[in-house]
Amino acid sequence: MAAENITEKVVEKVELAAEVGVKAANIVANAFEKTIADTDHSSGAEEDTLWNYFTSFGIHIAMVIIVLLLKWQYDRNRYRYPKGPRDWRNIKDAISFHRKKRENLLVLANDYPDICTVMTHSGRLVLLNDVTLINEIFIGRADLVSNKVDGYLENQLRYKDGKHIRTGIVFRHQDHNSRIIHKALVHHIDANLVGKRLDSAVQEQLKNMRVSENFDVRRTTFYFATRLLTSLSCSSITVSNEDKTFELFQQNLYKISKAIHADTFEKSAKTILTQLTGLSETLDINENVLDYIKTWTEHRRGEINRPENAGDEQTVTSTTKIGNDFLDSLLAVIDESSPRFDEDDMAACILDIIMHGSEMLKGALSWLLLYVVKYPEEADTCRREARDKNYYQFNLSSAESLTHTQAFVKEVLRLSPVVPVVIHSTLQDFKWRKFHIQKRTQFGANIVALHHSAAWKEPNTFDVARWLGENASAIPTNSYSPFGFGPRACVAEKYLFNLLTGILGVLLYHNDFEKTGALPEPTEGTFGLANLPPKFSLKATPLSTRS
Ligand code: HEM
């Protein structure tokens, strides 16, 4: 505490000195200007004038340099970040951080068990490796550190301030609207989906899932998820490949999805090019997709305003329930929103839900199927469980009874979390512990490190049994967080284990999965925004309905 006070005082003094310096520089510069201006040119020789001119010029330059130096010193002393491999001695580590992220996240947690600062391609990142610090920031200071990072798809270039124009993952958070959207979605899932529409919606899309002789796992699971999320977002949409517009929509989403996860120099170069030119193929696709979603909102407004629904005179009300879907839940909070949601916001939020939900389900299901073929005995135990419990179709609440399958899911998400680092950025300058952090600094919760920390027994071993029976009491629950933290955690968080368990249970009940070629290792794959296995294919052989 004392040290913190001293640091604060030093920083204040330096700030003061810098301010005084700037003022002094201005006064001196003005004085010189005045002196030179006061010189009587008519009375002096010509060389004097030239001399005066150069002196004045030199003094101005010197003043500018002094001011710049003072400003540099001022900024340097103003903010204080945790130590880390960010200076020139560690330049190699800093450069390789992004490209070798999986490895680096573990190394950094080892070298800096609590906290460190790294320079990444997207700016300065304060990496939290310790669960207490993660909670302090992501829960205790969530009011100041909750702005989602949005530099992934070059799309911040086309944001409207305070609005939600973006693709891929979750809303911007600096405004009141994000909070009301979050609440509305959680409420909708609790009140209208769970125990109601959700089971049939998931089951219908499981029936449509095209697992076959040789299927691309990432593509198939992504298409399953987009159909599911679209049907939950706007129930009046024809979610079928017979519908050409929907098919194109899905294909466009897949293109965006691939672009989000590309983690190559080519992608970095493209991002820079977009910043310079404003041109981007992905952004154009994004706009197409948003235009399509806007037609849903228009259609819904039409439905609401049809004569039989014209109980009151307004165009969109806070209470109207037509589709009982995510779209409705967002329309219902329009009146609370500030700034008021417009068509663009609405479309962007819906796209966020569909893209994020699909990406995450694709990631989780791809990892699950990869571990199924890598650990066939474990998978057989899960399959037997599904068959014994007659779990032939999806049901969220009874997925709870598939204890082994649920343990399998939890262990896969421990070793291969789909979100490896949850990153938020600061909304304003703020002081925390002995640090003074600048606005728009990124804070990352190192999930990979938590999931591999010494709190776990043999953290690198795939061990489903650790979640079962008496072993479960030794689980360090604090060191496990596949769905985020605090007020900005996943809106579907409460139900995701059961959702994934149920989906895996049904898939295993009906199919035997085998590899068709070499399989990737869990340590491979993209590790950018999300952690996904590399492209791989599997063979699914349908099993008879009764064992
Ligand atoms: C296995 C599947 C999923 C995983 C691993 C996952 C993970 C996460 C994580 C880690 C966050 C927090 C991100 C952050 O703080 O930066 C998040 C937020 C969110 N998730 Fe998910 N998610 C999954 C599925 C879903 C689904 C199916 C939905 C569909 C409704 C969904 C909707 C959301 C929304 C709307 C947010 C933003 C909440 C907010 O920022 O207020 N997620 N998710």
Average pLDDT (328-342) is 87
Average pLDDT (446-454) is 96
At 269 the pLDDT is 74
Q: Are 379 and 411 in contact (CB under 8 A)?
A: no
At 12 the pLDDT is 55
Instruction: Give the tens place of pLDDT for each residue, 122-153.
Output: 678 899 999 999 999 999 998 888 777 655 44
Ligand 1 lined by 482 (C-beta under 6 Å): yes
Tokens of 42: 């008519």
Which residue of 188, 228, 356 sits with most ligand 1 atoms within 8 Å of its CB, as the best mutation to test the pocket?
356
Distance 492 CA to ligand 1 centre (A): 7
Question: Are residues 322 and 216 part of one domain?
Answer: yes
Ligand 1 lined by 316 (C-beta under 6 Å): no
d(CA 313, CA 298): 17
Looking at per-residue pLDDT, the higher value among 332 and 267 belongs to: 332
pLDDT winner (highest mean) among 113-127, 372-386, 421-435 = 372-386
440 falls within a domain: no
User: Whose CA is closest to atom 4 on ligand 1?
Assistant: 360
Looking at per-residue pLDDT, the higher value among 205 and 304 belongs to: 205
406 falls within a domain: yes
Ligand 1 lined by 532 (C-beta under 6 Å): no
Average pLDDT (454-473) is 97
Question: Are residues 192 and 44 part of one domain?
Answer: no
Ligand 1 lined by 489 (C-beta under 6 Å): yes
User: Whose CA is closest to atom 23 on ligand 1?
Assistant: 360
Residue 45 DSSP class:
-
Distance 169 CA to ligand 1 centre (A): 8
With 60 as the cut, is the pLDDT of residue 14 above it? no
Identify residue 258 by its one-letter amino acid code: K
Q: Where are the beta strands (DSSP E) in 336-459?
A: 421-425, 430-432, 435-437, 442-446
- pLDDT tier at 48 (50, 70, 90 boundaries)? confident
Question: Are residues 528 and 392 part of one domain?
Answer: yes
CA atoms within 13 A on the CB side of 133: 22
CATH (domain of 233): 1.10.630.10
At 159 the pLDDT is 46
At 121 the pLDDT is 67
Question: Are residues 51 and 200 part of one domain?
Answer: no
Helix (H), strand (E), coil (C) string for 294-356: HHHHHHHHHHHHCHHHCCCCCCCCCCCCCCCCHHHHHHCCHHHCCCCCCHHHHHHHHHHHHHH
Distance 237 CA to ligand 1 centre (A): 23
Question: Are residues 45 and 185 part of one domain?
Answer: no
Residue 435 DSSP class:
E
Question: Are residues 182 and 71 part of one domain?
Answer: no
470 falls within a domain: no
Which residue of 139, 143, 170 sits with most ligand 1 atoms within 8 Å of its CB, as the best mutation to test the pocket?
170
- pLDDT tier at 13 (50, 70, 90 boundaries)? low
150 falls within a domain: no
Tokens of 372: 């199924």
Looking at per-residue pLDDT, the higher value among 273 and 532 belongs to: 532
Question: Are residues 411 and 293 part of one domain?
Answer: yes
Looking at per-residue pLDDT, the higher value among 371 and 487 belongs to: 371
d(CA 458, CA 454): 8
The closest of 485, 418, 414 to 451, measured between CA atoms, is: 414
Average pLDDT (59-80) is 86
Complex ipTM, two decimals?
0.97
What is the phi/psi pair of residue 421, to 5°? -135, 125
128 falls within a domain: no
Query: Among residues 34, 54, 78, which one ends one of the domains?
Result: 78
With 50 as the cut, is the pLDDT of residue 302 above it? yes
Tokens of 221: 């699971």
Average pLDDT (87-110) is 72
Query: Among residues 48, 78, 108, which one ends one of the domains?
Result: 78
At 208 the pLDDT is 92
- pLDDT tier at 167 (50, 70, 90 boundaries)? very low
- pLDDT tier at 290 (50, 70, 90 boundaries)? confident
Q: What is the mean pLDDT of the chain?
A: 82
Ligand 1 lined by 346 (C-beta under 6 Å): no
Tokens of 463: 């061990």
Distance 483 CA to ligand 1 centre (A): 6
d(CA 168, CA 150): 9
Looking at per-residue pLDDT, the higher value among 449 and 529 belongs to: 449
433 falls within a domain: no
Q: Report percent pLDDT > 90 for the chain.
A: 49
At 403 the pLDDT is 98
With 90 as the cut, is the pLDDT of residue 343 above it? no
By the 10 Å C-beta count (0-12 exposed, 13-18 middle, 19+ buried), 50 is classed as exposed
At 395 the pLDDT is 98
Looking at 35-44, 275-284, 322-331, 430-439, which range is the least confident one? 35-44
218 falls within a domain: yes
At 157 the pLDDT is 41
- pLDDT tier at 264 (50, 70, 90 boundaries)? low
Average pLDDT (24-45) is 48
d(CA 21, CA 29): 12
Question: Would you list the DSSP string of 76-135?
Answer: HHH-B----TTSGGGHHHHHHHHHTHHHHHHHHHHHSSSEEEEEETTEEEEEE-SHHHHH
Instruction: Give the tens place of pLDDT for each residue, 311-324.
Output: 444 344 444 456 68
Q: How many residues are recorded in the chain?
A: 547
Q: Report percent pLDDT > 70 for the chain.
A: 77
Question: Would you list the DSSP string of 44-68?
Answer: S-HHHHHHHHHHHHHHHHHHHHHHH
Residue range(s) defining the domain that contains residue 13: 2-78
SS3 148: strand
Is 234 annotated among the ligand-binding residues?
no
Cα angle value 263/121/177 (rounded, 5°) = 90
Question: Are residues 533 and 392 part of one domain?
Answer: yes
Query: Among residues 50, 78, 106, which one ends one of the domains?
Result: 78
At 316 the pLDDT is 45
At 158 the pLDDT is 46
Structural domain tally of the chain? 2
147 falls within a domain: no
Looking at 54-68, 342-356, 362-376, which range is the least confident one? 342-356
Average pLDDT (220-224) is 96
d(CA 244, CA 231): 16
Question: Are residues 500 and 355 part of one domain?
Answer: yes
Ligand 1 lined by 419 (C-beta under 6 Å): yes
Question: Measured from the CA of 225, which atom of ligand 1 is nearest?
Answer: 27
Tokens of 53: 């001119």
Tokens of 546: 């009764």
With 60 as the cut, is the pLDDT of residue 532 above it? yes
